């Protein structure tokens, strides 16, 4: 009988430890993803993560070449 009680106690302790570790892991992942700041493209209005945006003269732009005022890919209309 003592063995059964000991096994149940060990199982409950292991279950508690695993739940605590899983809970802290989920909280860290949520915190990391929630800390990404979104900024709005000054040209098209798209919201993008700040790390993926381009800052030109204090304004944010998305990765679309048409939105970037300093893009060298602006089409010329010489026909």
Q: Residues 64, 69, 70, 73: is their CA dihedral positive or negative?
A: positive
Between 28 and 7, the higher pLDDT residue: 7
What integer pLDDT is reported at residue 34 of this predicted model? 61
Going along the chain from its start, the domains and CATH numbers come out as 37-71 (3.30.60)
For residue 51, give the DSSP letter.
Answer: G
What integer pLDDT is reported at residue 73 of this predicted model? 52
With pLDDT > 90 as the criterion, what percentage of the chain qualifies?
38
Q: How far is the C-alpha of 71 from the C-alpha of 79, rounded, in Å?
A: 21
Give mean pLDDT, residues 23-47: 80
Give mean pLDDT, residues 10-21: 94
């Amino acid at each position: 009988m003592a063995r059964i009680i000991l096994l149940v106690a060990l199982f409950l302790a292991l279950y508690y430890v695993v739940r605590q570790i899983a809970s802290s892991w989920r909280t860290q992942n949520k915190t990391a993803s929630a800390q990404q700041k979104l900024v709005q493209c000054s040209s098209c209005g798209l919201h993008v993560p700040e790390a993926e945006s381009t800052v030109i003269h204090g304004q944010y732009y998305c990765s679309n070449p048409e939105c970037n005022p300093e893009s060298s890919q602006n089409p010329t209309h010489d026909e």
